Amino acid sequence: MPLDLTQGRDLAVALLPELILTAWAMLVLLIAAWRHRAPNAQRQVGWLSLVGVILAIAACGWLWSRGARAAGLPTGMALDSFRWAAGIVVLLGTALSIVMAIGYLDREQITIPEYHVMVLFAAIGALFLVGGSDLIVLFLGLELMSIAVYVLAGINRRSIFSAEAALKYFLLGAFASAFLLYGIALLYGVTGSTRLALVAATVPYLQGGSRLLIMAGIAFLIIGFAFKVAAVPFHQWAPDVYDGAPTPATAFMAATVKAAAFAAFARVLLQGLGQLHHDWSGVLWWLAVLTMVAGNLLALAQRSLKRMLAYSSVAHAGYLLTALVSGSLAGAAALLFYLLFYTLVTVAAFGVLMAKGRPGGGERDVTVDDLAGLAQSEPVLGFVMAVAMLTLLGFPGTAGFIGKWYILTSAAGAGHAPLAAVLVLTSVLSAGYYLPVVMAIYMKPRLHERVHDDVQLAGVARGLLAALALALVLFGVWPNRVLRAARDGSQAFRAHSAATIQPVSDER
C-alpha cells in the first residue's frame, strides 16, 4: 500500500497510530481533569486509556498487514515493517503496564488519574521515537517520552524515594539529551541533512575533516543513547530511579522506554550510519561487554528484589547491545524478538513484586527471602515468578533461551565469537541471582502460615500475569511465527539503491 505523504489523506493514514493515541490522550486528559476528585476516577481513566492503546495496536497491525510504504522521497517518519513491529512492542508494554497499575495505585492511595495520561503521552513519544527517520523527529519523540516518564517517576508525592528518583532521572536525562542533540548537530553540520536516508547517502563521500566531525557526532549519539538504555558506565541512574519510582512506573520504564530507545538506536545505526559499521561496532562491542559483566556482578550483590531486577535490566541492555554490534539484518531481527519477550517478562516479574508489596510501603523492602513458600500459598504467582526468572536466565523451553540463542547466532555469524562467549558466560553468572528466587518459591518453607496473606492482586491482573507466563513458555517451544515477524521487521534495513549525492567539500 504506497502512501504519498505530500497528500493530507495519505499522511493521516501513515500517522494513524500516533493520531489515534494523541486524540485519545487529549480526551482522557479532559475526563481526568473533569473527574479528578471522583472516587473511582483513577480506575475509569485507566480502563479508558487501555482502550486507546488497543486501538493504536490495531492501527499498527493493519498498516503492517497492508504493507504500508512511502512513495517518493524520504520523509520524517519511516513507513516500514520495523516501525510497525517496534510500535506494537511499545504499545503492548504500555497496555500491560496500565492494567497492572490500576489496582496498585488504589492500594497505594495514589489516586491521581493523570498517571494514565502521562503513560499515554509517553507512549506517543515512544511511537515517534521508533518511527522517526529524521533525527529531529526522533529527538522530539524522545523528549516527549522522557518528560512524561520524569513525572511518572515522581508521581507518589508522599514518598521521598519517588521524589529522589524523579530528580535523578530528570537531571541525568537532560544531560543525556544534551549529548544526543550535540551529536545530531554535528551530523547535520557535516551532511547537511537530518534525514537518515540522506545521511546514509552522504556518508560514503566524506573525507578529511568532515569524516572526523561525523565520528565525533556518532560518539555523542552513542553516549546519549547509552544513557537512555542504561548501558555501563552510563547506568548509574537506573538502580535508584527504578527502586524509588512506583513499581508500575518502573515496569513501564524497564519495558516500554527501554524498547523504544533500543529501536531508535537500531534505526540510527543501521539505517543512517550502516556504512560506518566498522567505525562504531568496536565501541558498541566494549559497551556490551562492560554492561553484561558489570550488570550481572552488581545484581549478584543485591538482596532487595526490586534493585536486583534493576541491575538485571542493565545486564539485559548488554545482551541487546550485542545484537546491534553485528550491524546485520539477523541482529535487527534478534533485537526485535528479544524486545518482545523482554517486555512481557519484565511486566510479569514486576507484577508479582507489586502483589508482594505492603500497602503504603511499596516494594523497596521486599527481598528474595520474602518469597519463601510462595508456591504453597499462591501457586499462580509462584509459577509466574518462576517462569519470569527462568526466562530472564535463558533457560531452555522459555522465550529467553530462543532470544539469547538468536543474538548468539547473529553475533557469531558476524565474526564476534568472543562477544558471544561473554554473553554465554555472563548468562551463566546470572543464575546466581535468578535461581535463588525460584528456590525460595518452591524449595524453602514459609516463615509462618500467614506470611503471604497480605498478597493483593485483582483477578484481572492475576489472569494477565498467568497469560504472560504461558506466552513466555509458548514462545520458547513454538517461536516460529514470532521469529518470522521479527525477520520481516528487520527487512526495513535491507540496503536499497540510493541516488548519487555530490561529495561534501571540507571547505564548506
* 387 lies in some domain: yes
* 505 lies in some domain: no
End-to-end CA, the chain: 40
Our CA dihedral for 368, 373, 379, 383, rounded to 10 degrees, sits at 40
CA distance 397 to 67: 33
* 504 lies in some domain: no
Find, among 361, 387, 356, 358, the residue nearest to 372 by Cα: 356
Burial of 192 (C-beta count, 10 Å sphere; 0-12/13-18/19+): middle
* 506 lies in some domain: no
> What's residue 494's pLDDT?
79
CB-based contacts of 286, cutoff 8 Å, min separation 6: none
Question: Are 247 and 363 a contacting pair, CB within 8 Å?
Answer: yes
| Per-residue pLDDT tens digits for 202-238 | 887 777 778 888 889 999 999 999 998 989 888 888 8
> What's residue 502's pLDDT?
37
CA distance 363 to 368: 12
Task: List the pLDDT tens digit at each of the 508 positions of the chain.
Answer: 777 676 778 788 888 999 999 999 999 999 888 877 777 888 889 999 999 999 999 999 999 988 877 776 667 888 888 999 999 999 999 999 999 999 888 888 888 888 999 999 999 999 999 998 899 999 999 999 999 999 999 888 888 888 888 898 998 888 889 999 999 999 998 888 888 888 888 887 777 778 888 889 999 999 999 998 989 888 888 888 998 888 999 999 999 999 999 999 999 999 888 888 888 888 999 999 999 999 999 999 888 889 999 999 999 999 999 999 988 898 899 999 999 999 999 999 999 888 887 766 667 778 888 888 888 888 888 999 999 999 999 899 899 999 999 999 999 888 899 999 999 999 999 999 999 999 988 888 777 666 666 777 777 888 899 999 999 999 888 988 999 989 988 888 875 433 333 333 443 3
> What's residue 120's pLDDT?
95
Handedness of CA 396, 397, 401, 402 (dihedral sign): positive
Find, among 294, 166, 167, the residue nearest to 226 by Cα: 294
| Per-residue pLDDT tens digits for 153-177 | 988 888 888 888 889 899 888 888 9
Domain with 360 in it: 2-493
Residue 2: in which H helix or E strand, if any? strand 2-3
Kindly report the number of other CB atoms within 10 A of residue 454's CB atom: 11
* 81 lies in some domain: yes
DSSP structure class, residue 452: T
CA distance 244 to 154: 8
> What's residue 89's pLDDT?
94
CB-based contacts of 465, cutoff 8 Å, min separation 6: 348, 351, 352, 380, 381, 384, 457
Cell triple for 173: 536525562
* 82 lies in some domain: yes
* 501 lies in some domain: no
DSSP codes joined into one string, 66-124: TT-EE-SS--SB--SHHHHHHHHHHHHHHHHHHHHHHHHHHHTT---THHHHHHHHHHH
Write a three-state SS string for 141-156: HHHHHHHHHHHHHCCC
Question: Are 311 and 391 a contacting pair, CB within 8 Å?
Answer: no
Domains identified in the chain, total number: 1
> What's residue 90's pLDDT?
95
DSSP structure class, residue 3: E
CA distance 467 to 17: 25
Kindly report the number of other CB atoms within 10 A of residue 453's CB atom: 10
CA distance 349 to 98: 15
* 503 lies in some domain: no
Helices (H), 253-304: 258-267, 277-300
> What's residue 453's pLDDT?
64
